[in-house]
Structure formats: structure tokens, C-alpha cells
Amino acid sequence: MTTIIIDHFVAPLCLEQIEILFEDEYLLAINKPSGLLSLSGKNPLNKDSVHYRLVKQYPDIRLTHRLDLGTSGIMILAKNKLVNANLSKQFQARSVIKRYVSVLVGAVLDNEGLIDLPIAKDSLLFPRLKICHKDGKSAQSHYKVIERLDEPLRTRVIFMPLTGRTHQLRIHSQAIGHPILGCDLYGASETEIAIATQSMSPRLLLHALDITFDHPHTQKRMTLVSQCPF
């Protein structure tokens, strides 16, 4: 018997505009605001998205990767099919380097580390995913502490995901006992911390800071940056 999962989620209205950070004849780099979908959802009420807005000006624009609804920051989009294929190959080869800034609940003790925990779908708690050593796909996230904050205890970190699983940084943060502030899906098991995760920030404190890749035409290595707003 096949289980049919219906997504009733409706994204709140996003009034923030997309900021263009870089543009040439091959690609577009933007700053995606928190609260905007990368791609329009199946629900007709979730039409507004990065792609929906940009395709009006760039008819052949293509997403090379996505950011979660609550995640802000840099995204690279291809202006044609060939550029998209080139960038997609770079993502598949893991030669694209992405870094994120995040603020986590509590005091992370180690100054840096690697979280290596496999991720799988959670059919009982859609759209959540879960850590699963039996059926999960390999997922690794490197982190480095850049600031520890008091009252309440929080830790600002730089994440560098080595893989690109959905919700990866949010799940990995929860798994080490330090969920991302503002996260509505992956809090902590302790009720007090779970409440604090959402109450201490009106948005998910996860921002795509920069991305490094080979330009699809010149082949020159380049890094594009989106300044963190928090």
C-alpha cells in the first residue's frame, strides 16, 4: 500500500526583494531573503519564489542549487542550459565550496569539528528528515566557532557542508545538541531548549555567506560573498 503525503504548508508572504550581487552573460548571483522559497511549491498558494520572480526578467534562468525557505544568502543561477550543466557537474564533483554563518543554542565546547551523520527521510514526520545509520545517505558538515555569546548562551559558527543533503545543517546542529536559533523543525528534545530555539529569533539564523566555484566560461576560480545580516 502506497502512502500519499499531502503538503498543506503555505509559506508566509515575503515582502523583501531579491538583491543581485553579481551578473554577467552566463550566470547570476543573488542574495535570497529569508522567508522566500527557492522554487515554487506544488501548492498554488506557494507560487512566489526565487525562480518565479526571476524568470520574468530572465526567461531561461535555472536554479543550480537551492536554499531552505528560512535560509538567506547567496545563490548561483545559470542563464542557460549549458551553463547549468557545467555548474551542476561542479556540484556533483563537490568542487563547489559553500560556507554558512549560523547562531546555535548553547555553548559549543569544541572550537571546530566534523559532524558525520547520515540523513534519511522521516515518513512519519514529513517534511522533517532524520539521522538514520541504517538507511540514511552520507552527510558531513565541518564547523568552526567564531564567537561565543552570553545571556543567553549562544555560539556563532561557520559551517562548511561537505555534502548537500536537504536540511543538513539544521539536522546536524540538532544532533550535536545545539539547534539553530529560529529553527521550527529541528529543535531539541528538551522542551525548554526547543522553545528557546524558536523564541530567541524571529527567523532561522542560517545565512549562506559565500560560494567558491569555477566560472563556467573563463574557468577561473571565483568566490562570491553575501554579507550576513545578523
Active site residues per annotation: 68
Number of other residues whose CB lies within 10 A of the CB of residue 120? 16
Cell digits of residue 211: 560560494
Contact by Cβ (8 Å): 40, 49:
yes
Contact by Cβ (8 Å): 171, 187:
no
The position carrying cell 565550496 is 97
Query: Exposure string (b/e) for 121-152, b if CB count within 10 Å is 16 or more?
Result: beeeeeeebbbeeeebeebbbbbebeeeeeee
Judge residue 119's burial from the number of C-beta atoms within 10 Å of its C-beta, 0-12 exposed, 13-18 middle, 19 or more buried.
buried
Q: Specify the amino acid at residue 125.
A: L
**Of 108, 85, 229, the residue nearest 180 (C-alpha):** 108
**Of 214, 215, 209, 212, the residue nearest 223 (C-alpha):** 212
